[in-house]
Amino acid sequence: MKSLKIGFGLLVAVLMFLFVPLPYYITYPGEATSIERFMTVEDGEKEPGELMMVTISQRRATPLWLVGSWFTPFTEASPSSRYLYDGEGEQDYERRQQLLMASSQQAAIQYAYALAEADVDVDFNGMYVSAPITGSLASNVLKPGDVITAIDGRAFMSRLDFLDQVATFEAGDEVTLTIERDGRERVVTTLVQPLDRSGDRVGIGIYEPLPVQDVVTDPSVAFELTNVGGPSAGLMFTLEIYDQLTPGDLANGERIAGTGTVDEEGNVGPIGGAWQKIVAADRAGATVFFVPDGPNYEEARSSLDRLESDIEVVPVKTVEEAIRYLESMN
């Protein structure tokens, strides 16, 4: 009987080591994927060169994975609080990542079509509340999933218009927000709050407000991408759309990888995991790796020294900088 209890205890310990989730996430280099495999512009030109998005893989840690991360190159264990907002569950997190992906695709379409002088129309409906900041006054009146349609009765026409309107207020100003929740319109009141200690930046206390909009183009563009979230492929989406809309092979027959968010004005923004994404790009045989200028570039460079690779790391601040670099290769 005693040996049976010992054996059962060992079995329980092994199962816990293998399967019990811990409050950490493990991240490691993912894949570099040619965007033309899942994104098509109607009647667009697909050329021999490849423009690739790069991902990192992420999973909830178990004791086994946590220990393994300590000995696996380019692998990191981070507290779940680095990814999840206060009170946010994993399903909420996954939904937020999918919304960020959809938003990045829309921004890429808007800018690429404008740059290629192709037809694009945007029907803007408001700003999606990913989540109110815990402890903010907004958390008393806003919920995840709310859509803000007006501030002090004034509608806004784009994400940038929304941000510009918020910036006209000072910390402590009272504002009324017109919102849609569960198919019904409501009006709530809150105070504008400082976003930093200086008080120079103010907001209404919500994380990552995302545009709710329909983007209609001619020619049409379609994405068939699943199980990937986040906004970091925006730069490469923009380059691929622009490439299919315009004559010639922007990649000049090469494999070009990159990462970076993009907005509707073509600005490239910072992302997470640049030091891991360059590993995936190198493994896929990319000759160039675009990365947001600044800390992300330094991250990627640090991994490059460990990889002993010839891949060219190119920092960019805008989509047009990336296009000019590629055109200089042709």
Give the three-class secondary structure for 310: coil
Q: Which DSSP helix (H) or strand (E) runs through 323? A: helix 319-329
pLDDT, residue 19, reads 56
Question: Over pLDDT 90: what percentage of the chain?
Answer: 66
The beta-strand segments (E) located in the chain are: 24-34, 39-41, 50-60, 76-79, 119-128, 131-132, 147-151, 154-155, 174-181, 184-191, 193-194, 202-203, 206-207, 210-218, 221-223, 255-258, 261-262, 268-269, 288-292, 312-316
Residues in a beta bridge with 1: none
Q: Is the pLDDT of residue 252 over 50?
A: yes
Task: Give me the CATH code for the 122-213 domain, please.
Answer: 2.30.42.10
Of residues 258 and 94, the one with the higher pLDDT is 258
Q: Is the pLDDT of residue 13 over 90?
A: no
Pairwise CA distance, residues 25 & 58, whole Å: 7
Architecture of domain 24-118+219-329: 2-Layer Sandwich (3.30)
pLDDT, residue 124, reads 92
Where do the structural domains in the chain lie, given as residue ranges? 24-118+219-329, 122-213
Residues annotated as part of the active site: 232, 277
Pairwise CA distance, residues 273 & 174, whole Å: 38
